[in-house]
Amino acid sequence: MKTNNVKNSLFLLFFDVSIMRNTTKLKILLQKYTVSFDMDENESFVLLLTDKSNNNMQQFEGESYSAVLAKAYSYLLRVLKKPPE
């Protein structure tokens, strides 16, 4: 069921990512990943994605919430476009 939700979200691939709201990006990410936010000592944002199906982790760093969210969302799009092995 969860996999179908992610696949059903593929229609969003056709929209311009730059105009999507952060809440929309986060909602889509949360369908496939557990998302954790943190801030390091230099006040850079750190976002950690943990795949709900296989526990693979991916970390993103940036100067703003929007920047790390955009990186994580772009990563998700690459994962969804990648053919299964």
pLDDT digits (tens, 9 = 90+) for 20-45: 899 999 999 999 999 999 999 999 99
Full residue range of the structural domain in which residue 52 is found:
2-81
From residue 54, alpha-carbon distances to 17, 28, 80 in Å are 26, 18, 15
Whether the pLDDT of residue 12 is over 70: the answer is no
Whether the pLDDT of residue 1 is over 60: the answer is no
pLDDT digits (tens, 9 = 90+) for 48-76: 999 999 999 999 999 999 999 999 999 99
How confident is the model at residue 14, as a pLDDT?
Answer: 47
Number of domains composing the chain? 1
CATH code for the domain of 11: 3.30.160.20
